[in-house]
């Protein structure tokens, strides 16, 4: 099986004030999620974003935490969700991954919030570790680029400060 390198991305271009980001992290796999958060912080540092981190018990809690955060008006410009689910021997993996993804998509489409979704759904912990290292394959950094792009779009369309 071959590996495809992720594209190199430069610093984001973002008009307006430095963004305020809420990172909601499900650190069940602490080293993996911390690695993704480090990758995201490097991206956010390029635009001098402020980042507040809130932790939840696991990936399943990500959509509800996002919905709760959206009830606090004007505090954050965007939201970064980070977590990891490693496949086990039962169907639990499939049900949890489906529930998280559908839950986040539901909140996202209903709210129109700027969201970067960094949930690793992997077969092995080694796969997760490879996607959380300090290189261009870091999925936390990719999700950070995504949320900054969404913030830029909202600002362009006059939907955010």
Q: Is residue 103 part of a domain?
A: yes
Q: Is 93 annotated as a binding residue?
A: no
Residue 96 lies in a domain: yes
Q: Which domain holds residue 28?
A: 20-156
Residue 3 falls inside a structural domain: no
Instruction: Report the alpha-carbon distance of residue 161 to residue 154 in Å, rounded.
Output: 9
Query: Binding residue per annotation — 31?
Result: no
124 annotated to a ligand binding site: no
Distance in angstroms (rounded) separating the CA atoms of residues 114 and 96: 23
In a domain, 4, yes or no: no
Confidence of residue 134 (pLDDT cuts 50, 70, 90): very high
Run of H or E including 24: strand 20-25
Residue 92 resides in a domain: yes
- Residue 12: predicted pLDDT: 62
Look at residue 58 in the predicted model and tell me its pLDDT.
97
Indicate the number of domains in the chain. 1
CB atoms within 10 A of CB 104: 20
Is residue 9 one of the residues assigned to a domain?
A: no
Predicted TM-score (pTM) above 0.85: yes
Which has more confidence, 2 or 68?
A: 68
Would residue 62 count as lying in a domain? Answer: yes
pLDDT band at 161 (very low <50, low <70, confident <90, very high): low
CATH of the domain at 36: 3.40.50.960
Q: Is 129 one of the annotated binding-site residues?
A: no
Q: Which residues are catalytic?
A: 92
Largest alpha-carbon pair distance within the chain?
Answer: 48
In a domain, 82, yes or no: yes
What pLDDT, in 10s, does the model give residues 10-69?
Answer: 556 788 999 999 999 999 999 999 999 999 999 999 999 999 999 999 999 999 999 999
**Could you report the per-residue pLDDT of 93-109, keeping only the tens digit for each?**
999 999 999 999 999 99
């Amino acid at each position: 099986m071959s590996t495809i390198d992720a594209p190199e991305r430069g610093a984001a271009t973002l008009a307006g004030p430095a963004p305020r980001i809420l990172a909601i992290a499900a650190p069940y796999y602490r080293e993996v999620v911390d690695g993704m958060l480090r990758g995201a912080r490097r991206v956010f540092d390029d635009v001098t974003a402020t980042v507040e981190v809130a932790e939840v018990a696991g990936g399943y809690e990500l959509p509800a935490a996002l919905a709760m955060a959206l009830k606090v008006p004007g505090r954050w410009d965007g939201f970064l969700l980070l977590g990891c689910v490693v496949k086990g021997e039962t169907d639990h993996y499939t049900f949890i991954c489906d529930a998280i993804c559908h839950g986040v998509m539901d909140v996202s489409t209903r709210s129109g919030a700027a969201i970067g979704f960094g949930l690793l759904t992997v077969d092995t912990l080694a796969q997760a570790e490879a996607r959380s290292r300090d290189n261009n394959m870091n999925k936390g950094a990719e999700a950070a680029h995504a949320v900054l792009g969404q913030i830029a779009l909202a600002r362009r369309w006059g939907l955010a400060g």
